[in-house]
Chains A and B, each alone.
Chain A
Amino acid sequence: MADYEPKILTILCNWCSYAGADLAGTSRIQYPSNIRVVRVPCSGRVNPQFIVKALRDGVDAVWISGCHPGDCHYITGNYFARRRFYVLKDLLEYVGLEKGRIHFSWVSASEGKRFADIATLVTKEVKKLGPRKKFVKRR
């Protein structure tokens, strides 16, 4: 499984994490190319249904990143998101999906290095888990 390259759906909030990814890029920081970025206005925009659907459609993992608590552009969006993600993550692990398929993080616009670090960490963990067998729709 040495040449296994996972696909990681990455949902970034426009104001912090996406700008953080931008900074990582402009600073020429290296990070794995396994992430596929979707930009959303706020982490509070992310409906848990998105994650369930993405997993079912076959991505190897999902990583969602937003502003640090207190830094949300819309003041409280990420606090609402935090509750939702907590319930979702616990439920999916409870029914038996492997731990480490869903990741959440807070990355601010000035944390380019941190963005690259987390991207590396998430990719490493997902590579260790290998391709997903549970909850993948066969077409």
Chain B
Amino acid sequence: MVEKIREIARKLLGEGKVDVVLGYEKGTGPLSERPFVARTVEEVEKLTYSPFAIQNLATYLPRFNNNKVAILARGCTTRAINVLISEGQIERDKIYVIGIPCNGVIKTRELRESIGEEIEDVSIQNGEIVIKTPKEEKKVKFEDWLNISCKYCEYPNPLFYDVLVGEEVKPRGGGYPDVEEYEKLDEDERWEIFEAEMSKCVRCYACRQSCPMCYCEHCFVDSTEPRWIEPGFDKTDLESWHLIRVLHMAGRCVDCGTCELVCPEGVKLLFLTRKVARDLKRDFDYVSGLNPEKPPFFGEFRYDDKGDFIL
């Protein structure tokens, strides 16, 4: 698969069809892959791909809008591209989509922490992740370490592509069992969990920087007048930041899970974004990123929208 990707990238760059290829390269150690921009044919050799490549590359597209860009795209990446097109951030004909059917990405940070010692090498064999440490060889199940969004992913295959690498995969069952489970708890329990999660936040804004939908030049959290969020680690400030971030994501979040995967403190964020996605699907029959022609969720309305909560 990696060889096929390199071959396509080499051809595209060599023929001058695109200016850059957005992909992944090996990170600083095993179990990590980071975004990489290949600008020349020589740089293509660095490109790689595996389920440890956790980030959504659509994040970088608006920054390359004057160039022709080839991008490695999973299902969620193509949905993000659709949202960006519908919001006028990028143009479809400047993007060459190298589609990758995806079996899900791994919670690399959590896995690395659970091993607790130096990792020498990692490979994936028959649905198992084989991790070599100096002492032994550990095997863990691939399914156990899947990102939550991927576990219930309905769109693992790219919605559109110019070239597809590999065979299309079968979607896993959709649904939001994680959200439903949280909903069953009583009010105070929910608040306790929410508060505990949010107080882990150190305000590094990795969730914002990695999110394909967070392209605002001036984020509300940086605004000093009005000051929506004050500096410091008061828990209400941390909670406000995450609540408003989720509200800004409503109807735009494509549920790629990047925000949670890149969080250095392991703050759970998907139970918030997935809750909004579930509501929009259930009550408004709206799924983000399926159609680039459709206006954003908050940019349209229907006369028969749900209104029974209003006195």
* Contact surface of A with B, Cβ cutoff 8 Å: 48-49, 52-53, 56, 69, 76, 79-80, 82-92, 94-99, 103-106, 118, 121, 134-138
Name the residue of chain A whose CB is nearest to the CB of B190: A96
Name the residue of chain B whose CB is nearest to the CB of A64: B310
Categorize the interface residue count of chain B. 35 or more
Q: Chain A's nearest CB lies how many Å from the CB of B310? A: 4
Whether A94 pairs with B190 at a CB distance below 8 angstroms is yes
Whether B311 pairs with A92 at a CB distance below 8 angstroms is no
Whether B194 pairs with A86 at a CB distance below 8 angstroms is no
User: Of A80, A88, A99, A135, which contacts B247 at CB under 8 A?
Assistant: A88
Q: Label chain B's interface by main secondary structure.
A: helix
Q: Chain A's nearest CB lies how many Å from the CB of B124? A: 36
* Contact surface of B with A, Cβ cutoff 8 Å: 182-183, 187-195, 220, 226, 228, 230, 234, 236-237, 239-240, 243-244, 246-247, 250, 272, 275-276, 279-280, 283-284, 297-298, 301-303, 305-307, 309-311
Q: How distant is the Cα of A106 from the Cα of B219 in the complex, in angstroms?
A: 32
User: Of B230, B272, B301, which contacts A95 at CB under 8 A?
Assistant: B272
Whether A95 pairs with B243 at a CB distance below 8 angstroms is yes
CB-CB under 8 A for A53 and B191, given A91-B247, A105-B311: no
Choose among B189, B243, B310 the residue with the greatest number of A CB atoms under 10 Å from its CB: B310
Q: Give chain A residues whose Cβ lies under 8 Å from the Cβ of B309.
A: 85-86, 89, 104
User: Of B234, B236, B279, B298, which contacts A90 at CB under 8 A?
Assistant: B279
Whether A82 pairs with B305 at a CB distance below 8 angstroms is yes
User: Beyond A69-B307, A96-B194: 8 further Cβ-contacts under 8 Å?
Assistant: A82-B301, A82-B306, A83-B297, A89-B309, A91-B246, A103-B311, A105-B311, A106-B310
